[in-house]
Each structure stands twice: as structure tokens, then as C-alpha cells.
Structure 1
Amino acid sequence: MDREEAETILLDAGAAPEGEFPLMEAAIACAIHEDPARDAGLARDLAQQGVVRLGERLKRESPEEALAETMAGDLRLTGDLFTTEGLGNADIITVAETRRGLAVTLGIFYLHAARRCGLTVKGVDFPGHFLLRIETEEGPLALDPFSEGRVVLPSELTRRALHAGLTPNVADRLDRLMAPVSDRAVLMRLQNIIFARASAVRDYVRAERAALRRALLDPGDHRPWLDVASAREGQGALAGALEALQRATSIDGGVALAARAQRERVRLRLN
């Protein structure tokens, strides 16, 4: 798979209706889009191992125990505590190699195996830290893929929410803290992380690729194109930045004022 083929896969994923979003394949396409000189088979093989091992464990263990033991025990997937800012932690192929990564990258392996084995598991866009929600006979539970899939108790969820800056009346609402998000939103969160970290170190080429992947994955959202424009401007590619701003404006007229001001500023730099 080359970068052009990866973009085609992401474009198709962007057109997929909710419930049919190809999370694992789209995540692999994102990784190849970032660096085509790699073998995607490693991530696919690890994902399939997770499906097989989880299916075996579900015969004798509860869903939450089986999922955690499969991912953290059998596959040795865990959070990277030492190089937390490393961009490899946000790459599904690199994580398959190192078995360490960000919570959201690890969570994609959890979600893939769980779905294939008939479990109801969704991502949770928890502030500051990605979590998983698994439905059990006793009700929904929160799992932390960064901490070897352990169950996060309601009191801990509230503590984390308060630490993240949520108000007490929101931090006590478990229904809001554990609100599930779509698979598309999971992968978008991962690309947002890459964009933010790359931008912070002025790696505008990588930032542009991450923003472009977001634009392909969610073609109805104008905001990724604003980030594409920002990354291109950081590289001095002003004509490309102007083109991206025009794309943003064409998608959503509601951003016309913000995009128009940014576009005019770039246009004046071109002249």
C-alpha cells in the first residue's frame, strides 16, 4: 500500500455510514499514509491474534476480564509510561511492534477484537484520557486500555473528571462521563493528537498529513481544512494554504467569517 492507496481507503471510510466504519483498516491506512515504507501485516496479525485469544477466554471468563487479559496479558499491550510524547505511540503499526502506546491507539485493538467476538464495546471521549465502555450483565463498565484494561470505578471517574477541570455537577454524572462515541471519532481523536504534537514541535509536514487524514475521514467537517491551511502556511506553502481555506469555506458557510479573514491574510502575503 502506498500513500495514494491509503488516501483512497480513508476517503472510502469517510463515506461509510455510522456502524460500518472500518476502524482497524482505517487506522492501518493512517499509519501507512504517515510512512508507506512499512508492512501493515504486523498490525493485522496482532489484531487477528486478539480475536482468537479473546474468543477462547470468553468461554471461561467474564467479558471485562477476558478482554483485559487478552489484550494486556496475551498480547502484552500496555501504556507507554516513558516516552509519552513519542509520535510512534499514536501509530497502530509502531504500537504493534513495541506493544506500547497511547490509550486511544491501544483501544483500537481492544475495539476490534471485542466487536469480532460479539461484545458491545465503545470508545469514551473522556477529557484528557481515552477510555472504553463495555456493556455487561451488571451494567456498563469503564476500562482503561492504558492501564492494562483495568476497570475504572465510578469514584475514580469522578476524581479524574474533576482533575481535568470539569465542574462537580458534571463530574458526578456517570451517564455523561461514559457517553460512547463513534469509531470515526476514535480515529479522529488519534489524528488530532498527532496534529497537535507535530505542530508543537513545528513539524508542519507531519501536521499537514494528520490534518488531511481528518479531512478525508470526516468530509463534512470544515475544521480539518483550517488545520491543513495552518500547517501549509507553517511550511511557507501559501498557495496551498489558500486552497485549503477555500475548501473549508465551501464545506460550511457558517465559518465564512473566520475562514475569510484567515484567507485574506494569506492572500495578502501572496501578493
Structure 2
Amino acid sequence: MTPAEARDAFTRLLQTPDPELDLAEAALLIAAEEYPDLRPAVYLNQIARMGTELKQRIRAEVEPGRVVEMANTYLFEELHFKGNREEYYDPRNSFLNEVLDRRVGIPITLAVLYVAIGERAGLPVRGVGMPGHFLVKYAPATSGEIFIDAFNGRTLTREECAKMLNEMYGGEVKMRPALLEPSTKRQILSRILNNLKSLYLSRGDLARALSASDRIMLTDPHLTSEWRDRGMIHFQMHHDAEALKDFTRYLAMRPEPEDAPRVKQLRGQLISRVNGGLRHARLDADDVREFRELRIGFSDHRRRRTQAGRIDEEHQPGLADGRDRRRDQRVVP
């Protein structure tokens, strides 16, 4: 499958109503642009077999705690899926094929796999985009909810989720019910792509960052800040016409954002260059600074310290209400 074929397949799949969208297939199509030899059907069959095995193990079990315990034992103890603490920022952690092959990932990809296997086993599981750490929610209609932290292979109560959030953000982000509501599948895909975009930007790989941004726009063209973010990538790549288009759209969608003066200034430079037929100019010092500052909005890439003192990170496109957050006024993906 060529990258173009993978993009076309991803675009077609996104036409599916969200409840029926196959999250695992979409995640594999994201990976297929990076892995031309990837055959999604092979991995989907593998996931299906895991789902069948889990379903057979659960059988008639109905007690929620026991069901989750059995699922966790199968995935984390027998199949050995776990969080990749040693190489957290390896882009391979964001590709579902690599997670299946290597048995390691980050919170969101491990959660996607958990949901995919759980759905095939008939379990009511959904992804939950809690800020800073993606979770899984098991919520049967007849009883209470259980949250699963797939990265650490454990279950959590709502109170424990609130404690985790407080530890990650030092009280800056307050827990509220909306933060533990299920994410749509498109939101999950957008968050995976934001992770990749942030990683690629940290490595100076603008072409791959642009590819990720383009696909984020496919998941939701109404993500206002993404028009600005993609415009900044185009600007850095000297794609003047494309950057001008994205900045113009951004300002039309959000007429007076906090960064409006600088975006308007950059847009004015682009208009002059495009109309004047000038050669692409290199970014001056202010442009470079602004590019770095605006990259803060590319992902919620927040450093957090656990009680044990370990530092790890989880990327996401923003809080559940869609607002961007700044991380120490720096971008250090």
C-alpha cells in the first residue's frame, strides 16, 4: 500500500459514522503511510483472534470487576502489552502495528488496542481522553464504571483518576465530569496524529509533521487552531501560498485570537511575497521565535512527575473542552 493509497483509504474510512468507525483499522491506516509494506488485514485478523480468545475466557461472567480483571490478565500478563517507559518518545509507540509487534506503546495506542480487542469480545469499552493520560472506560449498562490505565496495566476509580490528574498538573487542571467522558473515535485519531506531529516537529521533520497535520484536518476541519498550526508548518517550509491560505482561514474562524497580531503580521509578509513574486525568504529571528511559540499549541505536551519521581509525558490536542494549554512557555517535545 503506497502512502497515497493509505491516505485515500483513511479518508474513505472517515466517512463512516463515528459509532461504526473501526478505530483499529483507522489507526493502522495512519501507520500505513509510514510502513508501505503494512497490510492492515493481517493485524486486524490478529486483533480479531485476541478478541475471540478474550470472549471465550469471559463466557458468562457478568460481574464488572471480574470481567476487567480477566481482560487485564489476558492483555497485560499473558500477552505482555505494557507502557514503553524507556523509549517513550519513539514514534513507533504511536503506530498500532508496532504496538502489536513489539508489545509496547504509549497510553493512547495501548488504549486503542484494549478497546479494539474489547469490542470484538463484546465488552462495553470506550477510550477516554483525560488530559495528560489516555484511559479506557468499562461501563456496562447495568452497573458502575471502571477505568483502565493500559499504560500501567491497572484499574482506577473516578477518585483515583482525579488524584492522577492533580499529580500531573499540580492542581492547575481541576477534575470535572466532562474530562472522563468517552472520546469520539475521530478525537482519538486526532490525538494520535497530534502526538506524531509533536514528535516530528521536535526532530525538525517538517514533511512528516505536515502529513500528520493534514490528516488531523481530515478528522475534523473545524479544529480552528490546526489551521494556524498547519500554516506555521507551511511557513517554515516556504510554502507561501499554502501558509497564506491557512492563516486567512484561521483568522476568519477566530477573528481576534490572542495571537492575532503576530499571525496577521506573518500573513501580511506572505501577501507581499506572493503578490511581489519574491523568492522564499528565510525566517528571521522573530519568525523563528514565533514558530516555536505557536508550536506550543500543536499538542498538549505536558511534563509530569509521578509520586515515584519518574517523569513521563502524554501528548494530546488539548483539554476536553478544546482549549490549548501552554507548557512552561517552552516547546521541548
Q: Which TM-score tier does this pair reach, normalised by the shorter chain?
A: 0.7 to 0.9
Instruction: Give the stretch that moved more between structures: 95-104 or 150-159.
Output: 150-159
Give me the whole-angstrom Cα distance separating, in 1, the residues matched to 2:187 and 2:138: 17
Give me the whole-angstrom Cα distance separating, in 2, the residues matched to 1:267 and 1:13: 36
Q: Residues 166, 121 of structure 1: CA spacing in aligned structure 2 closer, same or farther, 3 A cutoff?
A: farther
Give me the whole-angstrom Cα distance separating, in 1, the residues matched to 2:39 and 2:18: 28
Other-structure match for 1:214: 216
* Equivalent residues of 1:78, 1:99 under 8 A apart: yes
Q: Residues 224, 151 of structure 1: CA spacing in aligned structure 2 closer, same or farther, 3 A cutoff?
A: same
Q: 1:72 aligns with which of 59, 69, 76?
A: 76
1:96 aligns with 2:100: yes
What is the DSSP-based 3-state SS (H/G/I as helix, E as strand, rest coil) of the residue aligned with 1:170? coil
Give me the whole-angstrom Cα distance separating, in 1, the residues matched to 2:94 and 2:188: 12
Give me the whole-angstrom Cα distance separating, in 1, the residues matched to 2:39 and 2:117: 21
- From the CA coordinates, give the structure whose radius of gyration is larger: 2
* Equivalent residues of 2:107, 2:151 under 8 A apart: yes
Aligned residues: 265
* Equivalent residues of 1:79, 1:147 under 8 A apart: yes
Other-structure match for 1:33: 33
1:107 aligns with 2:111: yes
Give me the whole-angstrom Cα distance separating, in 1, the residues matched to 2:267 and 2:27: 31
Cα offset, 1:69, TM superposition: 2.2
Other-structure match for 2:313: none
Q: Residues 222, 170 of structure 1: CA spacing in aligned structure 2 closer, same or farther, 3 A cutoff?
A: closer
Q: Name the TM-score, length of structure 1 as normaliser.
A: 0.86
What is the DSSP-based 3-state SS (H/G/I as helix, E as strand, rest coil) of the residue aligned with 1:142? strand
Other-structure match for 2:244: 242
1:63 aligns with 2:67: yes
1:226 aligns with 2:228: yes
Q: Residues 161, 8 of structure 1: CA spacing in aligned structure 2 closer, same or farther, 3 A cutoff?
A: same
Other-structure match for 1:204: 206
Cα offset, 1:204, TM superposition: 0.8
Give me the whole-angstrom Cα distance separating, in 2, the residues matched to 1:214 and 1:202: 19
Give me the whole-angstrom Cα distance separating, in 2, the residues matched to 1:245 and 1:36: 32
Give me the whole-angstrom Cα distance separating, in 2, the residues matched to 1:164 and 1:265: 40
Cα offset, 1:261, TM superposition: 5.2
Other-structure match for 2:123: 119
Give me the whole-angstrom Cα distance separating, in 1, the residues matched to 2:43 and 2:226: 26
Give me the whole-angstrom Cα distance separating, in 2, the residues matched to 1:41 and 1:99: 19
Cα offset, 1:167, TM superposition: 4.5
Give me the whole-angstrom Cα distance separating, in 2, the residues matched to 1:180 and 1:97: 27
Alignment of 1:123-134 (within 5 A): 123-134=127-138
Q: Supply the AA of the counterpart residue of 2:192.
A: L
Alignment of 1:132-143 (within 5 A): 132-136=136-140, 137-143=142-148
Query: Deviations along 1:209-234, whole A, 9 cap, x unmatched?
Result: 11111111223434433333222222
* Equivalent residues of 1:208, 1:227 under 8 A apart: no
Query: Deviations along 1:105-157, whole A, 9 cap, x unmatched?
Result: 11111111222222111111111110111114540011011112x10134432
Other-structure match for 1:267: 271
Cα offset, 1:207, TM superposition: 0.6
More helix by share: 1
1:16 aligns with 2:16: yes
Cα offset, 1:269, TM superposition: 4.4
Q: 1:164 aligns with which of 168, 174, 187?
A: 168
Instruction: Give the stretch that moved more between structures: 65-74 or 208-217.
Output: 65-74
* Equivalent residues of 2:198, 2:209 under 8 A apart: yes
Give me the whole-angstrom Cα distance separating, in 2, the residues matched to 1:51 and 1:161: 31
Query: Deviations along 1:16-64, whole A, 9 cap, x unmatched?
Result: 3231222111111111123324343453233123212211121165321
Taking only aligned residues, the RMSD between alpha carbons, in angstroms, comes to 2.5
Q: Residues 169, 128 of structure 1: CA spacing in aligned structure 2 closer, same or farther, 3 A cutoff?
A: closer
Q: Residues 238, 139 of structure 1: CA spacing in aligned structure 2 closer, same or farther, 3 A cutoff?
A: same
1:255 aligns with 2:254: yes
* Equivalent residues of 1:144, 1:151 under 8 A apart: yes
Instruction: Give the stretch that moved more between structures: 204-213 or 54-63.
Output: 54-63
Cα offset, 1:256, TM superposition: 5.0
